[in-house]
């Protein structure tokens, strides 16, 4: 029995720059289930980070949510369950600040720069605890030490008075995780938390996050471009291309029966140990400039299976079954399929 | 930490010593000395028939006939051992008295100017960065550039004119008449503070404009750092996180400016003091250089330079206190 925690529909985020409007996120639909892991996958610049920041309303200027809904289920103050629309909240207002850190918290990509180097580890963690709970400084310190211990930091009672610049990258990311988990959030967003770390540390951090999720039962939104990581941790996968989700489904389905040509190409581009071929198979072409988006399907200039309609018709979301949907004309309807066949015959 | 302070302190002493050497050498550089000045004055006033060994006598009397190294040694020894800065040929009294009479005023003006500059530049710089490209930001930037571009003497003249015309009071001098010659007292100090406003504004304007630019640029760099996102994602309010994180990080260069702001203030003070007729050390140094009154010039320059070096030392200490990276490395 699954239960949606955050339902995102038609989320659009535009950046109003001097050179023009960049449509970073152009209609994203997502469901994050309580206690489950959703991996958001895509190349650099596809809008996955921006979208995840929107869930906390911490998009940087000049970015703005221009439309969409982000329905978040939470316990209201009187104990009943309520549904609030995060998209409608004022980014600087008090209500969203109550959700940030307490109910939704975030781990960032760069552990080197995500912590302030001028404040001690303990200061930065207890600040968050004291902001959201009614505790004395001593109590906050005790629970910070507990949390540091929980994320596997040796001698936390000493490390708590240390400055982050004296810690290694892996240690800093553990501190970040301890901080994000310190108020026991219902949802944790991790924006490429292992990208800046070396491989052995990556594996440790991943294990730690899975373990914490198991123990605390929070939902995890994991943003990555590393499909190996996805295979290891994901319950559900959403593949993003140029501001849209092109395919989503449970991890097994997406890995074993990828439908969208982009997902298929992504999976083919991963090196395999038992690989016969000498070369990797990269996806042809470049990610288009956000100022000059292709017409029709955004992926068609790089797509190996494109046909005549692809540069004209924008594909809608097609539900293949309950847990699997794709945005591609190949799967859309009979008419499209026929023209696909015709195109193939002519080619 | 102590190692850091000890190292900085050693640098400071060494720097002051080098300054003393250079100061003394530079003052000896122009052709002639104070005796030349006296002789030419005497000739100008009609005393043609000076004894042939007159110059030689005076030089011996003041020790000016000795080699420069010996003069330097005696000068420095007197300062360190006896706290004497030599003799003023022009004023016919100890150079120390002349310097001490003027320097406190200079320091008062410079000190208040630094406080003024900080008090104005810090909030405006922060506001300007947070509201980047807003109308207020453009306005502050515009006024700031004017403040940088207008020479302080011109600004002083304009303010003087307006004060004379509309407030019926010339803003010349630093003391009311009754305190001008009075010994130092609390009342005299309060009177000084009252008169300091205008000179401080004039001297501080350029520095303020410069520091607003610095603060704005520093803070703009910091506002987009990931740790700001982290702070925001914790649920801190915009105001709380602004003061706690990016401003704190942006303050580093701000504190370092204390060191270099002092010499530029003292240079600016000279011109303003001449225009507004302020009894600061600037005009005295200027005149002593003209008349080759070497001990006054050397003493004043040495003290001012040392104060600048000490200012830098203090800013180093402040930096260590503020930034753990400086303290712990």
What are the structural domain ranges in chain B?
105-289
Does any CB of chain B come closer than 8 Å to the CB of residue A172? no
Comparing B60 with B73, which gets the higher pLDDT? B73
What tokens were used for B42?
Answer: 């005497």
Q: Please choose, from the candidates B159, B106, B119, B124, the residue with its C-alpha nearest in 3D space to the C-alpha of residue B265.
A: B106
What tokens were used for A9?
Answer: 């529909």
Does any CB of chain B come closer than 8 Å to the CB of residue A305? no
* Contact between A257 and A273 (Cβ < 8 Å): no
Q: Which of B1, B134, B230 to mutate to test the interface with A (most CBs of A within 10 A)?
A: B230
Nearest chain A residue to B131 by CA distance is A61
* Contact between A319 and A249 (Cβ < 8 Å): no
Please report residues of A whose CB lies closer than 8 A to that of B324: 117-118, 120, 163, 165
Please report residues of A whose CB lies closer than 8 A to that of B227: 113-117
3-state class of B212 per DSSP? helix
Q: How far is B127 from chain A (nearest CA, A)?
A: 16
For A149-218, where are the E strands, in sequence order? Answer: 187-191
Q: Could you give the C-alpha distances from B115 to B205, B261, B323, in angstroms and in order? A: 12, 11, 21
Please report residues of B whose CB lies closer than 8 A to that of A165: 324-325
Distance CA B156, CA B37 (A): 33
Interface contact A58-B248, CB threshold 8 A: no
pLDDT at A290: 73
The model's pLDDT over B188-241, given as tens digits with 9 standing for 90+, comes to 878 777 778 888 888 888 888 888 988 999 999 999 899 999 999 999 999 999
pLDDT at A263: 93
Nearest chain A residue to B320 by CA distance is A118
Q: A114 pLDDT band (50/70/90 cuts)?
A: very high
Q: A272 pLDDT band (50/70/90 cuts)?
A: low
Pairing of strands A104-107, B93-94: unpaired
Please report residues of A whose CB lies closer than 8 A to that of B234: 100-101, 105, 127-128, 131, 179
Half-sphere exposure of B47 (CA within 13 A, CB side): 10
* Contact between B219 and B246 (Cβ < 8 Å): yes
Distance CA B253, CA B50 (A): 60
Q: What's the average model confidence in pLDDT over A146-167?
A: 93
**Fold that domain B105-289 belongs to in CATH:** MetI-like fold (1.10.3720)
Looking up tokens 């389905």 gives: A253
For B23-119, where are the E strands, in sequence order? Answer: 87-88, 93-94
Comparing B103 with B224, which gets the higher pLDDT? B224
Distance CA A135, CA A183 (A): 12
Of A101, A114, A117, the CB nearest to B325: A117
Residue A106 pairs in a beta bridge with: A189
Q: What's the average model confidence in pLDDT over B283-307?
A: 84
Half-sphere exposure of B39 (CA within 13 A, CB side): 16
The model's pLDDT over A209-223, given as tens digits with 9 standing for 90+, comes to 999 999 999 999 999
The model's pLDDT over A39-70, given as tens digits with 9 standing for 90+, comes to 999 888 888 999 999 999 999 988 999 999 99
Element containing residue A105 per DSSP (H, E): strand A104-107
Judge if ipTM > 0.90: no
Low-confidence winner among A24-38, A142-156, B185-199 (lowest mean pLDDT) = B185-199
Does any CB of chain A come closer than 8 Å to the CB of residue B232? yes
Q: Across the A/B interface, how many CB contacts are shorter than 8 Å? A: 76
C-beta contacts of A333-336 below 8 A and 24+ residues apart: A336/A309
Distance CA A57, CA A94 (A): 12
């Amino acid at each position: 029995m699954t239960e949606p925690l955050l339902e995102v529909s038609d989320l659009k985020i535009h950046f109003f720059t001097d050179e023009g409007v960049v449509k970073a996120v152009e209609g994203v639909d997502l469901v994050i289930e309580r206690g489950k892991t959703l991996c958001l996958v895509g190349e650099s610049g596809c809008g996955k980070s921006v979208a995840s920041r929107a869930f906390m309303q911490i998009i940087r200027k000049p970015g703005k949510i221009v439309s969409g809904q982000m329905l978040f289920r939470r316990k209201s103050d009187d104990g009943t369950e309520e549904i609030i629309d995060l998209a409608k909240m004022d980014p600087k207002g008090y209500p969203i600040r109550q959700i940030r850190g307490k109910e939704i918290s975030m781990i960032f990509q760069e552990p080197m720069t995500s912590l302030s180097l001028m404040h001690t580890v303990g200061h930065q963690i207890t600040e968050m605890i004291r902001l959201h709970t009614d505790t004395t400084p001593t109590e906050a310190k005790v629970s910070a030490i507990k949390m540091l211990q929980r994320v596997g930091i040796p001698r936390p009672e000493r490390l708590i008075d240390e400055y982050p610049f004296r810690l290694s990258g892996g240690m800093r990311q553990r501190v970040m995780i301890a901080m994000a988990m310190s108020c026991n959030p219902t949802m944790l967003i991790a924006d490429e938390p292992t990208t800046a770390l070396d491989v052995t540390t990556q594996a440790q951090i991943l294990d730690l996050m899975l373990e914490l999720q198991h123990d605390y039962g929070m939902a995890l939104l994991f943003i990555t471009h590393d499909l190996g990581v996805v295979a290891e941790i994901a319950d559900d996968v959403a593949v993003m291309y140029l501001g849209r989700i092109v395919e989503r489904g449970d991890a097994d389905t997406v890995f074993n029966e990828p439908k969208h040509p982009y997902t298929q190409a992504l999976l083919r581009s991963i090196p395999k140990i038992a690989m016969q071929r000498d070369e990797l198979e990269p996806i042809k072409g470049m990610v288009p400039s956000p100022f000059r988006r292709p017409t029709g399907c955004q992926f068609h200039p790089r797509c190996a299976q494109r046909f005549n309609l692809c540069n004209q018709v924008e594909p809608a979301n097609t539900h293949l079954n309950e847990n699997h949907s794709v945005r591609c004309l190949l799967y859309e309807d009979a008419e499209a399929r026929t023209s696909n066949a015709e195109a193939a015959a002519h080619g | 930490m102590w190692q850091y302070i000890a190292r900085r302190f050693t640098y400071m002493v060494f720097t002051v010593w080098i300054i003393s050497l250079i100061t003394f050498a530079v003052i000896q550089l122009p052709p002639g000395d104070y005796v030349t000045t006296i002789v030419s004055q005497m000739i100008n006033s009609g005393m043609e028939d000076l004894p042939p060994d007159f110059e030689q006598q005076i030089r011996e009397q003041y020790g000016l006939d000795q080699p420069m190294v010996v003069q330097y040694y005696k000068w420095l020894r007197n300062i360190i051992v006896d706290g004497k800065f030599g003799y003023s040929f022009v004023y016919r009294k100890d150079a120390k008295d002349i310097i001490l009479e003027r320097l406190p005023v200079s320091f008062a003006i410079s000190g208040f100017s630094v406080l003024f500059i900080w008090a104005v530049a810090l909030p405006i710089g922060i506001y300007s960065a947070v509201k980047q490209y807003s109308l207020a930001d453009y306005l502050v930037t515009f006024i700031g550039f004017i403040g940088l571009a207008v020479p302080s003497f011109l600004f002083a003249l304009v303010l003087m004119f307006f004060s004379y015309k509309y407030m019926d009071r010339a803003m010349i001098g630093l003391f009311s008449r009754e305190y001008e010659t009075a010994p130092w007292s609390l009342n005299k100090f309060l009177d000084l503070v009252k008169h300091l406003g205008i000179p401080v504004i004039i001297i501080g304007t350029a520095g303020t404009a410069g520091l607003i630019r610095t603060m704005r640029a520093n803070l703009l760099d910091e506002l987009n750092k990931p740790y700001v996102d982290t702070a925001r994602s914790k649920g801190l309010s915009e105001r709380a996180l602004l003061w706690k994180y990016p401003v704190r990080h942006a303050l580093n260069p701000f504190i370092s400016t204390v060191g270099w702001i002092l010499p530029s203030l003292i240079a600016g003070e000279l011109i303003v003091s001449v225009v507004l007729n302020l009894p600061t050390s600037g005009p005295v140094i200027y005149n002593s250089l003209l008349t080759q009154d070497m001990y006054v010039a050397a003493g004043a320059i040495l003290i001012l330079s040392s104060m600048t070096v000490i200012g830098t030392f203090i800013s180093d200490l402040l930096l260590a206190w503020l930034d753990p990276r400086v303290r712990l490395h």
